[in-house]
Structures are given as structure tokens and as C-alpha cells.
Amino acid sequence: MIRFREFALCFIFLTNCSSTNEDEQTDFQTLMGLSASIIRGPSPAVTVDTRKIITREIIDTANVPLLFVEKEDGTNGTLGLFPDSGPIESWFGADGTIVTLSGGRIVASRGMGEDLMGSKRFETPVSHQYSNKMRYLTKDNQLEDHNFMCTVSENTDFVTIDVFDKKYSVRHSVESCVSRKATIENIFWRDTLGNMIASHQFHGDKIGMLLIMRLN
């Protein structure tokens, strides 16, 4: 297999990378195709709907972890996982977009506009209640904090969801958060091992909600 760091550089900068290994070329071309969509969507003329491109067969033969992200306006894309990410995962797109997840929750982003610079959770004395501090970079390059008070309700029943023609048995939880400016509701679907398979969660005032699905 091609070294992932070299692969990532080729992928991000859209350069032509040569390889003597046919499998390496296939992996590169596959991920390039999967990430043709542009999360930022600066020009509608070049935006591609990933849902119309990728199939379960393509996903299963990609040989790299893939994440699907879709904004409220339908703009979507597929991101690849940075190597050695550990429990805090950084996922990158062909346009330079980066989405960082911790336990499946979005904790930072880059390249999406008015980015989430960081997110930190604080426990409170009240059972099943906590605060979530989200820090943003505004369009005039100022840092702005949004403080939410949150509670979570868990559903113990398992349901079946479909992620690009693959079925998962999951339980879902609903996180309700309130701030001085907004009331939001995040939904998370986890499999039998507790892994986050899909979520619908708040990014910020500009982006709104994001649909996030782990494809493989």
C-alpha cells in the first residue's frame, strides 16, 4: 500500500502521484472520486452530489476509512481519516476541509467558514446535565464563545438504519441543548459496541446542522 502521508498530500493538492503498484493507484483514484464533492461549496458549478457517485461496493473496496458529511443545504462530501488520529479523529476532504470528532461528536472544523475552533464539555452538579462550550472564528477573525446547557435522553431499544446500503442495528440518543441564543437538538446513533455510526449535530449558526455518517 502507498504510505498514507504521501497519499494524503497527493490527495489534498490534487497532484499526479505515480506508483508502480496497481492497488495504490486504485486506492488513490477511488478516494479522489469519493471526495469530489466540496463541503465548502464555493462554486455550485463544481459541486458534486456524493450520494449519486458512491456505492457500497466502492466504499467496501476503498481500503481507507471514510466519513460522509452533509450540510443542511444538501452540499456533501466524503472525507478520509488522518493517520494515527487516535480517539480524537481528524478527517480531511479534497478541498482542505477538516472535521475533527471525539467519540463521534464534532469538536472542531477547518475550511468550512466561521469554523468551530474547539468544543469542551464540563460536568455540572446536576445529574445528567452538563455544559458545552463551543468556540468559533467569526468572519471578522474574532473568537466567539457559545455556552450551552445540555441533557441527554437514551433510547434502549435497537432500531435498524441504512448507511449507503449497509444495515446497522443501533440505539439512538437525543442531546437537548439551550443557550441564550439558541435551542438545539443533536441525535446520535450507536451500534451494539457503542461506536457512533451516524449523527445529526449542530455545527454553528452559519452551517447549522450536519449529517455525519461513518461509511466503513
Q: Three-state SS for 27?
A: helix
CB neighbour list of residue 176: distance below 8 Å, 6 or more residues apart? 150, 151, 152, 153, 183, 184, 185
CATH 3.60.21.10 correct for 4-214: no
Residue 101's pLDDT is 97
Mean pLDDT score across all residues of the chain? 81
- Rounded Cα distance, 46 and 61, in Å: 26
Query: Tens digits of per-residue pLDDT, 131-179?
Result: 999 999 988 889 999 999 999 999 989 999 999 999 999 999 999 999 9
Q: Which of 20-24, 124-128, 130-134 has the highest mean pLDDT?
A: 130-134
What average pLDDT does this structure show over 172-199? 95
108 DSSP β-pair partners: 100
Residues 106 and 117: beta-carbon distance below 8 Å = no
- Rounded Cα distance, 109 and 136, in Å: 9
Task: Give the pLDDT band of residue 46 (cuts 50, 70, 90).
Answer: low
pLDDT of 13 > 50? The answer is no
Residue 4's pLDDT is 32
What average pLDDT does this structure show over 197-214? 96
Plot region of 12 (φ>0 → left; ψ -120 to 50 → alpha; else → beta): alpha
Residue 135's pLDDT is 96
